[in-house]
Amino acid sequence: MRAESSRSASIISVKDSDGSDYQPVRENDSPPKRTSVKRKRAPVGKKLPAESKIRSKIANEVEDIEDSTGPFILRDHGMEYHSVAEIVERQEDLLSWFETCREKRGMPWRKRYDPRLSMEEKGQRAYEIWVSEVMLQQTQVATVIAYWRRWIEKWPTIADLAKADVEEVNAMWRGLGYYRRARSLLAGAKTVMSKAKYKGRLPDDPLILEKEIDGVGRYTAGAICSMAYGISTPIVDGNIHRLFTRLLAVHAPQTAPSTIKFLWGAAEQLVEKLPFDQNRQGITGDWNQALMELGSQVCKPVSPDCSACPLQSSCKAYAELSASPPQPLELPCALCSPVPSSTTVERISSISIFPMRKEKKASRAEEESVLLTEWKGGDGDRKWLFVKRPEKGLLAGLYEPPTTPVESSSTPKTCLETSISALSEIIDFSPAELLKQGQSRYISSIPHIFSHINMTYHIHHSTISDSSAVPPPLRETDRTVVWLSEDEVVHANIGTGVKKVWAEVYGSWGSFDEESPKVKKPKNGTTQARQKKSPLEEVKNGKIVKKIMMPSMPTRKVKSDEVHEE
């Protein structure tokens, strides 16, 4: 079965070729040097090339994602309008606000920075933060807390994790989805423990951490180094991206390199302006967490609570509700695009106009034939055939019943024949036996919606009954193929799609009593979903007449640190 790929990430890291003047903080330094990672900064306040050239460059970076017709609010302003100066004046307000809610959500990995800790102890904090940050990608905090506790109980240190294998890690991750995240943690731990230069802990240089440790991008590197090691380095995750576009009133394509570069530049400037002294050595980590908390809990994607925001008076988007931006001092801003408007009023109607709306890519339709193959032995034993997906790629390393792509016009008979032909390549059993009447039957066709794939699974159930004590032998293949008992099936590393397929045959996941046949006669010779419609469509008389939007889960936005799969 195929998995989703979540490439509509809200943040894309743009690597710069610049060097860094960063120096590691030694264990006995007190206070640590105020060091930061130097990267190219957006040209805030500097003279710009001709506006037409800049706009042409931006247009080439990303496709237009706003409608090209209809009224617009032009918002004439200069690049100086996006200055962070007003936010700097309110930094203490945000830090004070964060102290009132630091412990509110009960996140066990959120601990105060302690400069007295040894580098080994800081390394342990880095490991704990790393695990939490990877888990929080596309998963709600409330869900992650329990998973994080179980993970740390099983693998208390990065050295413990490095000794694990991918099956153990996938099993611990089961239910969180996006299994590549789990594998990146395992690979990163093995890298750290296999090279003496890391001294058994994650690097405290964000550039090295990002470059050398699997699954760590610029955001995660900054989060670990600022919170665990007290390094002065910025972060921009999905929440901060949205927060900054509103505070600075930036209406530009979200994933355009120019937008990303500007927002990271703003984040760096704000870190440099923090009131850093010996008594506040962990201030960068606090500041970064405060920004994330504000974006997550107050400046939400929909219905932001402006009245509760400690930065309201510095928010340019909020100010634009009642007044237009000032005219440019020199050249107009070449970063922003016009704001669509449904009225004749030359002001924005909501701060939710920021950030600029993303292009929504159409999902592609795919279909697969799934053959749930059960063996019944002479002594009453039962086993089921599962195939392990490759270790790289979609749903990597997870198990599934034999699954084969099919054409959308395939009939149930064609799907079954295709599946049995593929099955004969992995087990030593005659396809003709499975095609006999009663040995295989069509169950149903069900939809399974991924972020960019509308999948249809055509489900068949085949039974191999014989008097032997063992199931048919497996053929030599480059894939891992196994016969699993009931207990092994329940504890196998599988995806949600497999559970849905299983439930069609046995009523629910974890059940092994076959339900009554549910075959729905196909129309026009093609397979039909059993009385089920895709949640994205309403069908009447064979035609899609209405698209129904799926409500989104209140999840943390995708970060740039990895390509999600599921």
Instruction: Give all strands (DSSP E) within 466-521, no chain letters.
Output: 481-484
CA distance 13 to 315: 25
- Contact assessment for residue 227 and residue 237, using Cβ atoms and an 8 Å cutoff: no
For residue 281, give the 3-state DSSP assignment. Answer: coil
Count of other CB atoms within 10 angstroms of residue 544: 12
Cβ contacts of 62 within 8 Å, gap of 6 or more: 253, 255, 256
Instruction: Give all strands (DSSP E) within 501-564, no chain letters.
Output: 537-540, 543-547
CA distance 187 to 208: 16
- Contact assessment for residue 497 and residue 455, using Cβ atoms and an 8 Å cutoff: yes
Q: Which helix (H) or strand (E) holds 142?
A: helix 141-154
What DSSP letter does each residue of 240-280 carry, written as one string? HHHHHHHHTT--S-TT-HHHHHHHHHHHHHHHHTS---GGG
CA distance 400 to 494: 6
CA distance 566 to 448: 12
Distances (CA, A) of 303 to 67, 242, 306: 23, 13, 9
Catalytic one among 133, 210, 268, 565?
A: 133
Q: Is 133 a catalytic residue?
A: yes
- Surface-to-core class of residue 548, CB atoms within 10 Å of its CB (0-12 exposed, 13-18 middle, 19+ buried): exposed
Nearest to 217 by CA among 13, 11, 6, 5: 13
Q: Annotated catalytic sites, by residue?
A: 133
